[in-house]
A and B are shown apart, each in its own frame.
Chain A
Amino acid sequence: MTLLTAENITVTRGGKPILRDVSLQAHAGEFIAVVGPNGAGKSTLLKVMAGLLKPDAGRVMLDAGPLSALSTRQLAARRAYLPQNPQLEWPISVERLVALGLTPKLPATGGLPESYAPTITRALEQCDLVEKRDQAATSLSGGEFARAMLARAIVSSPQILIVDEPITGLDPRHAMQSMTLLQSFARSGTLVIASLHDLTLVVRHASRVIVVVDGGVIGDADSLTEELVHRSFRVTCHLTGQGDSRALTLLSPSEK
């Protein structure tokens, strides 16, 4: 079932095109990895798909209607978004940080209803943070903080989960755990779109790869191929193994 559709998206900043005429269809249950070099327009594409940035041309459709027809609150109830390098301004506890993900479901005033406690605990468990729940989130290590933010994004069980570089800065164990988590979300019917730089984890976990270079989609496939990596990053690589042992080894920058 097609959930989210981008139709001829163009974004321009200061006369410079960031995205040019990008179209794609995303379906429930997909785990789409958006890969590409720095400055290719991945973050911009994610923001547009999340309805947080209005494109200069084109439109994004959710189900059959345009995304822009939804109120910010209606949209927030169905889609969670996590920016690159998320920040936190006050030393609130991890538990409260995660609870902020429930904001769209809560009334404008009053405390957090007790009935949400199990939901929060589940998100903390999934992100391996139960022991840290009462600690100030600003005192966490970089990796723990990234996981806390991921818990914040998944706590509302969104239909669409859009995350910008969720595993940057995580150690191998937690990077793999986060990818498995995102994959399990997709398998349970959520549409997951994530920009990623760890290509081995991309070939292991993502169900679809979109390659963005210079503001345009140059590849849209079930998985990465050596040829796609070469075309997008201009590096040669070697793909080995099957299933969970698949690996992508980068060899050397290739000649033009």
Chain B
Amino acid sequence: MKLNLTLVTLIVLAFAASLLAGRIWLPLASLLSPHDSLAGLIIFDVRLPRTILALIVGAVLGLSGAALQGFTRNPLAEPALLGVSSGAALGAIIAIYFGLVALSPITGPLMGMVGAVAACALTFALGRNGTVALVLAGAAVSSLTAAGIALALNFAPSPYAAYEIMTWLLGSLADKSWTQVMLVAPFAAIGCVLLAMTGRALDALSLGEAQAQSLGVNLTRLAAMVVAGTAFSVGAITAVSGAIGFIGLVAPHLVRPFVGYAPRRVLLPATLAGALLLLCADIAARLVHTNPELRLGVFTSLLGTPFFFWLVVRIRKVAP
């Protein structure tokens, strides 16, 4: 409880910072400025949607990471490792590539979800026999989708289109407006509700499948909820923000020791930690002045990789 309150407090602080920080620094008082002033325009039309999007994207990554780690009982599970993110990316790229997005912007998130559902279903279907099989299946599905993305780049109609796809793949929250927030929010919400409802079953699953089943957990239904929840939420956010790695891996690990490791109790704080991490990363990426700009996805990867190494070393120590 204390942990959640701390995280919420930090999120509120980061939220305020995110509205004020950037190429143009705004004074604290401008948070109360009217909508039609310059400061008001920057805050309400530029930084507020970007901030809210960062919170949604981070929360989805944190929650889906926690749910996938609980479901697979594998500390390395995250949407990207299981091919879900790249599936969503491929779906969204197909939408961009064939000009569907130009016809109707909602096709981006929709195709993202279709790609995520397909990738997720394929991974879980191939990797049913334990966690090693699942991680391998995730790697296989990721390669498949990577090949699809490479194909799209190969046959891109123009160098400009290829560049467009490339930069989009790197992941960013720059130049996002309320339209994107409105597109993502409903799907992210549906997915998050599905994932949040898996808590009790995930707890029982820490005893293994046989005992979980004997405790009344319907394993098929649980798998369907995890797949659908991840696909909806991660599919939608990836279609808007591009691929952003490591938040889903890191967030659950950061909070797990504070809540006694029970998978259900990890869900909420991992969601909050994911939102906080991504918002902070986005603020930091904004403040590093480079040309071209440092992409958020690249930034989180740079931050996340050392953590991955630490996890590998730790697992090697813990493993028999």
Contacts and interface: CB of A to CB of B under 8 A. Distances in A.
Bound pair (A, B): yes
A67 B180 CA distance: 51
A83 B200 contact: no
Interface stretch (A27-35, A87-95, A122-130): A87-95
B20 interface: no
Interface stretch (A97-105, A173-181, A188-196, A197-205): A97-105
Contact of A90 (B210, B211, B218, B263): B263
B89 to A, nearest CB: 30
Nearest to A102: B215
Contacts of A26: none
Interface string B236-278: 0000000000000000000000001111000000000000000
A100 B215 contact: yes
Interface stretch (B50-58, B201-209, B286-294): B201-209
A185 interface: no
A75 interface: yes
A76 B262 CA distance: 21
B214 A92 contact: no
B218 A72 contact: yes
Given A52-B213, A76-B215, A82-B211, A89 B206 contact: yes
B191 interface: no
A52 B214 CA distance: 7
A100 B203 contact: yes
Nearest to A73: B216
Contact of B214 (A50, A74, A90, A93): A50
Contacts, number: 80
B196 A109 contact: yes
Contact of B216 (A76, A87, A91, A96): A76
B197 A109 contact: yes
B260 A93 contact: yes
A72 B199 contact: no
Q: How large is the interface on B (under 10, 10 to 19, 20 to 34, 35 or more residues)?
A: 20 to 34
Given A108-B200, A109-B199, A72 B217 contact: yes
Contact of A52 (B197, B206, B210, B218): B210
Nearest to A84: B210
B259 to A, nearest CB: 10
A107 B73 CA distance: 22
A90 B69 CA distance: 11
Given A92-B261, A92-B262, A86 B200 contact: no
Contacts of A100: 203-204, 206-207, 215
A56 B70 CA distance: 33
A92 B73 CA distance: 13
Contacts of B208: 83, 86-89
Chain A contact residues, majority secondary structure: mixed
Nearest to B257: A91
Contacts of A74: 216
B216 A103 contact: yes
Given A108-B200, A109-B197, A90 B206 contact: yes
Contact of B197 (A79, A82, A96, A108): A108
B200 A101 contact: no
A83 B201 CA distance: 18
Given A72-B217, A103-B216, A87 B196 contact: no
B25 to A, nearest CB: 42
Contacts of B210: 52, 81, 83
Given A88-B207, A103-B200, A81 B261 contact: no
A76 B206 CA distance: 17
A221 interface: no
A251 B201 CA distance: 48
A90 B261 contact: yes
Contact of A104 (B203, B207, B215, B262): B215
A109 B200 contact: yes
A90 B74 CA distance: 10
Contact of B215 (A93, A103, A109, A136): A103
Given A52-B213, A100-B207, A92 B218 contact: no
A88 B216 contact: no
Contacts of B213: 52, 72
A101 B206 CA distance: 12
Given A72-B216, A72-B218, A92 B199 contact: no
A75 B211 CA distance: 13
Contacts of A82: 211
The 6 closest A-B pairs by CB, nearest first: A76-B216, A81-B214, A73-B216, A89-B73, A104-B216, A90-B261
Interface of B: 73, 196-197, 199-201, 203-208, 210-211, 213-218, 260-263
18 contacts: A73-B216, A79-B214, A81-B210, A81-B211, A83-B208, A83-B210, A86-B208, A89-B208, A90-B73, A92-B206, A92-B260, A100-B207, A101-B215, A103-B217, A107-B200, A108-B200, A108-B201, A136-B261
Given A83-B210, A89-B205, A96-B260, 19 more contacts: A50-B214, A72-B217, A73-B216, A76-B214, A81-B214, A83-B208, A83-B211, A88-B206, A89-B73, A92-B260, A101-B215, A103-B203, A103-B204, A103-B216, A103-B217, A106-B200, A107-B200, A108-B197, A108-B201
